[in-house]
Amino acid sequence: SRDMILRAFDAAVSHERHQPGMGRLWDFRTADLSLLDSGTIAEMARYSTRFPPGVNDVKVAFVAGRELEYGLSRMFEFFSADAAETKIAVFYSLDEAEQWLTMRDST
């Protein structure tokens, strides 16, 4: 649900091991996001703009197990483009997501 995802985000960025600039990986391979609509996705994309640089300007990878979660993650990527400086990519493969997160940006 929306609230569970936002609580997980808050927990991740406030965890003692979190460091500014640290990328995030969201593993939705076993998730069922079918109750989320486009308005909720847009709201969640705007949520991270409340946070300072080092949280809202990092790489974020989503890993999906089904087309639905892949599509919703891509929708989040689209809405985030206007709301935050976050670089987002969506994958079906956990290995590819981890490789992308550790890859140095060329810009």
- Report yes or no on whether pTM surpasses 0.85: no
Has residue 106 got a pLDDT over 60? no
Residue-range domain boundaries for the chain: 2-13+22-102
Q: Express each pLDDT in 59-78 by its tens digit.
A: 899 999 999 999 999 999 99
Compute the CA torsion angle 28, 69, 85, 40 (nearest 10 deg): -110
Has residue 15 got a pLDDT over 80? no
Among 102, 74, 69, CA closest to 88: 74
Q: Express each pLDDT in 28-42 by its tens digit.
A: 999 999 999 999 999
